[in-house]
Each structure stands twice: as C-alpha cells, then as structure tokens.
Structure 1
Amino acid sequence: MPLSRNTIGTVFVGGALSVTLAALAYPSMLGIQNASTNQSRVIASTQWGPLTEADRNFVVFVRSAGLWEGPSGDLAMQKGTTQAVREAGRHLVIGHAALDASCRKIAPELNITIPNQPTPQQQGFLDTFKSDTGKQFDSDFANTLRVTHGSIFNTIAKIRSTTQNTLVRQLADQANDVVLDHITQMENTGLVNFTQVNNQETNPPKLPSSQATPPVPQPGAPMVTLTVPPGLPTDGVPTGPATTSSPSPSPSPTAG
C-alpha cells in the first residue's frame, strides 16, 4: 500500500519539536534542520507557570496540525470508500475541533500568536487528498495521517512530562487522548503499511523552512475556527479534557 504521493515529513526530530523561535513572536521557521539549542529556555512568566520555547512551539503546532487534519477528516467522510475510513474521518473532525478550541482559548492568555493556515507541506497533503479518488484516497489518507499522528505522539509525552505551565499541560493531556484515538482509527482502516510508516517516522526527510512554516496570519483577518458540522454525531469520539484557566497554585519563576 503506497504512502501519499507527497513526501511525508514532519517537524519533529527524536520526539521533539525542531524549531528556532524568538520570544513570543510568530515562529520564523519550523523546519526539522533548525533545531533550537535550548528548548527548555523560559521565554515568559505567566500566572499559569513559566512558558518555555518547547511549550510555545507545541501550542503552535497543535493549531497548525488541526488546520489540515480537520479538513482531511471532512474529505474522508465524503470520499472514503469504506466505513472504517469514513469513521476515521469523523474522529478527525470532532477531535481536532476540540483541540482547536483549546488552542484558541489559551493562545491569547499565554500571548502566543497562532497560525490561520497550515504549513505548505501540510497543505500539500490536503491537496493530494482532494485530487485522490477511490482506493487511492483511502490509502493515502490512512498512511499519511498515521505518520503525522505517530510523529507527534512522543512529543506530547515529552511536553506533558516536562512543562511547568498548567495550560500547556492540560493541552498535552487533551492531545494525548485525541491523537491516540486518531492513531487507532487509522490502524482500524486496515490500510496502514507499518514498514513504510515506521521508516517515515524514524527517518523523516529534512524540509526547507518555507515548507514547514505556517503562513503568518494577516493583521485583522478573522480567526479560522474548526467546528463540528451540525447533526454530526459525536458519540464514541474521545476529545480529552478541555483546558481551564485556573492559575498555577505556585508562584511563577522569573523568566530567563
């Protein structure tokens, strides 16, 4: 079963986001060849605890991922030739709508600028799905999304175990539930080529930053939101615990 005709790559290396970001500004690059020298560097003190580069990058990437994976789920519900593929699409739509709501909630509270469009690479995946038909769509959909969700899974665990920011920790809890469900849904299609998928996850191609960076949101542009279509049943779809805004119970360390 072939993987997507697009080269599948992620912006993760060794289970960690590979990024070079400055302060709280919008990320200038998210290419895998641009590894930050200190992901644990504190870039801000907040009432929810210190915010590190890795924390901020995680929020940005969860938002960016949803901007193409949510629409991919819509396509799967429309174009999937099997019930398993269509069901996987339903889970994507519902799960990423929940994660998107959390990202949009915590981003302004943490002073993080989030994207309004996916990266060019992610848009390429989505364009492939739009042009695919029949069994080719099913295969590309299941394998591409199994790679991307598998790649982020280890990063979620690392963020969850290291972050001192309660809002980021809650987002990681939620993402863990949602992403694990999506991995399972892709595998339930029976279309995943594990040999190729594992190779893509462990040996991702290097991408130029222009392909792995979400476009900067235009000033004044309305924020794109992911929502669940009216009438779409949400039963049986894990969405994880939503984030809350309770302040951290302990004083926030001074930013370094």
Structure 2
Amino acid sequence: MFHTCRVGTSVAARMFAVLGAFSAQTPLLTLSEISRRTELPLTTTHRIVGDLTATGALERGVDGRYRIGLWLWEVASLAPRSVGLRESALPFLEDLYEATRHHVQLAVLDGPEVVFLERISGRNAVHVFTRVGGRLPAHATGVGLVLLAHADRDLQEQVIAGPLKGFTEHTITDGAVLRRVLAAVRRDGHAISDRQIELISMSVAAPVFGPDDAVVAALSVVVPHGEHDPMALVPTVRAAARGVSRALGAPVTLPRSVRRVSWQGD
C-alpha cells in the first residue's frame, strides 16, 4: 500500500512517501503516477525524485519510468536483524530445501506482520505470494503464527482483538480461535498453516532462538495442499530451526521445561 503525504510534512516524510509509492505490483512508475499516489504536487515530486535518483535510491529507465535503485538494497542489507541472521540461516535453509524440494522461507516479526528475509524456491514448487522483503499478516502464515505465539503479550492481544484479514475460507479470522492456535504453537513447538493464504498450499513452521533464548525468527517449508502429511515434515523443519538457533548461539541444549517463552498466558 502506498502512502500519501499531507501538506506541511517534512522533506524526509515526503521522500519516504515517494519510495512507498512503489510496490511488488507496481515496480515501475512515471513521475505523474508517483505524484498521484503520494498526493504531492508534480513540481515537488519532480524535485524529490531528482534527489533520490541522484543518490541511487531511484533509477530512471530509458522509457522515463522510475524504479527502486540498488543503493536502497545496500542500505537495507545492513539492518541488524537481517545481516547475521540470514548468513547463519542460509546453510540450513539450503539443507531444508534439498530435503523437501519445496519453498523454504525465513521471516521476522514486525508489528502484526511478518517480513520475509530469505526464500529458496524450486522451479516446480507450488505458487506462493511471498517474496524477499515482502510482508504478510502474521495470523495467516505459518511463520507468523510461530512468531506471534512468542511475541510480546500486548502485541498478541492487539492482533487477537482484530480485525483479522481473511484470504480464504480457511484463514483464521476469529480472535478466540487464534488465541487457541497460538497456545498450541507454544505447546507443540511448531505451526501448521493450512490453506490460509491460498487454497493450493500449506506451510509448516518452527521457531528460531537467539543467544538469549528468545524467538528471533521463524522458518518454514511451503508445500502443495493434500500432497504431504504436515506432521511428517515437522521433524525436518524443527531440525533446521534448531540448526539456525545453534549457529546464532542459542542455548538449544536446555531441557524444554526450562526454555523461556515471552509469557505464560495459557
């Protein structure tokens, strides 16, 4: 979703609004389209787009349309939650992909949404909406359910209170149901999200722990619905998650009974 700008907002806010006009669905925009999406005057848009292009934050194609520049990717790669995490996780994600030959994903929680840091995909794998850098509501994804189950209690209650966006008839849209699912995820150590985003797929996810034994990420495998027993995938997914946790320095050898979760609300 793109962001509009109010009159009198700061230059930085206007720049962010311009950058926010781009999306996976609209990666290329003309100056007029950016102006319309941000509700900024065309002259102001022209000036800001010029500055962003000069720094490499935007790039201008031969057809006159603009796209996000590589400089932003360089800056984004410095985000502390992505640098060491992606590097530590990648060997285990590759192993999980080799074992399943289906989409493998790594995600972190950002408010009520998950942000995907990495994805390994096979040519013949089931269709998914996710992409590196993309977002989805936490309640509707396997990685999101894992992360939400171990999130701060205030955030959990905020999400449970809704509204909960529905994608299919199988999406969790009832707060009471979500509360029970999150309790089960904390109890079982994994999440299964079946046909919540698309009717053709399901995912199995497990938590990744950091050095302080708190959940810092989640990984999952996405497979076609009806072609796999999700419980048969759980040990493999959990083993990959434990491997990442160990690489991050998590005390994964502790007995389950003394592992710390964010809160006890079950």
Asked if TM exceeds 0.5, the reply is no
Larger Cα Rg: Structure 1 or Structure 2? 2
TM tier relative to shorter chain: under 0.3
